[in-house]
Amino acid sequence: MLAAVLCGCNYYQETGRSDTSDPPPIPQPISNAALDLFGNISEAAEDPNNFFIVGEGSALSYNNSRGTVNWVAWRTTRADLGPSVERPDFRPDLRLPAGFKRVSPGDYSGSGYDRGHLVPAADRYGNLQLLDETFLMTNIVPQTPSLNQYPWEQLESYVRGQVRRGWDAYQVAGAYGEQRVLKNRVAAPANCWKIVAFVRSGETDIPVDSRTRIIAVDMPNRAGMERENWRRYLTNIRIIETKTGYNFFAALAADLQETIETRQQFVVR
């Protein structure tokens, strides 16, 4: 049986918040929209290094040996966006089974790496519960400040701009390779990658065809990227598959999958 951990925790118990004067929004049903689109790309299940978790706003594969996710999939809609709000504290993910490595914010302290979000906090400002989920350490990977704060953040902002223009963004992101291990617990990746498919807002059947606008990037996790534009790292999906061993869009017909995955992805300014 597939060991998918489903998030059903109490909001205030999990976040440690005691101010109940402004109650959280009604929890949304678990959304598998991005997972349905991209597929379970690593066939995540019970393996501790490919452990499947479905939360309220994302689905992910966790790697216990690395102390980070392998990948995480989520959808961003205009309703998810909002004005900047107070950001929660980073915290360990209590959804992980007993005996798993529960990384804490302190494991990054003094390392020279940022706590880099994969699901961006700003993608969730419109829903406090989903925002809190982005600060679980299972959504975080060690990123150099020059990657996290420059081209990676620029891409995140670009995607949100497209969402505000009437698109829903179906996203999957992850990391591969290893530079070093922080405090013998967390592997800093060599590269971070992301794939985004844009679907007109309100579409419910998630249509994907040869004309679907998709962008894919593969960025090195290094210093000296402050002046680099994220578009420099555009690639195609097949290259990311080769680097990671994952299989995207497995449910599509073989010829359509070939077309989508091998074309050079394009960008609308």
Instruction: State the pLDDT at residue 268.
Output: 57
Residue type, 245: G
Contact (Cβ atoms closer than 8 angstroms) between residue 177 and residue 188 = no
Contact (Cβ atoms closer than 8 angstroms) between residue 132 and residue 85 = no
User: Residue 46 has what DSSP assignment?
Assistant: S
β-pairing verdict for 167-176 and 68-76: antiparallel
Query: Which residues, in sequence order, are CB contacts of 255 under 8 Å at separation 6+?
Result: none
β-pairing verdict for 59-63 and 140-143: unpaired
Q: Please give the structure tokens belonging to residue 96.
A: 């992980």
Question: Coil, helix or strand for 139?
Answer: helix
Instruction: State the pLDDT at residue 33.
Output: 86
Instruction: State the pLDDT at residue 119.
Output: 98
Q: How far apart are CA 234 and CA 265, in angstroms?
A: 7
Which architecture, in CATH terms, is 23-86+94-262? 3-Layer(aba) Sandwich (3.40)
Instruction: State the pLDDT at residue 77.
Output: 95
Note if 117 is an active site residue: yes
Q: How far apart are CA 198 and CA 154, in angstroms?
A: 17
Q: How does pLDDT run along the chain (269 residues), one tens digit per residue?
A: 334 554 444 333 334 434 434 443 333 334 578 998 999 999 999 999 999 999 999 999 999 999 999 999 999 999 999 999 999 999 999 999 999 999 999 999 999 999 999 999 999 999 999 999 999 999 999 999 999 999 999 999 999 999 999 999 999 999 999 999 999 999 999 999 999 999 999 776 767 888 899 999 999 999 999 999 999 999 999 999 999 999 999 999 999 999 999 987 655 55
Instruction: State the pLDDT at residue 120.
Output: 98
Instruction: State the pLDDT at residue 31.
Output: 52
Cα distances from 267 to residues 86, 114, 118, 164, 194, in angstroms, run: 32, 27, 20, 16, 14
Catalytic residue among 75, 102, 115, 117: 117
β-pairing verdict for 186-188 and 140-143: unpaired
- Sign of the CA dihedral 206, 208, 213, 216? positive
Q: Please give the structure tokens belonging to residue 53.
A: 């978790």
Strand ranges in the chain using DSSP code E only, listed in sequence order: 5-6, 51-54, 59-63, 68-76, 114-117, 140-143, 167-176, 180-182, 186-188, 191-200, 213-220
Instruction: State the pLDDT at residue 45.
Output: 96
Residue-wise over 74-109: b if at least 16 C-beta within 10 A, else e?
bbbbeebbeeeeeebebbbbebbeeebbbbeeebbe
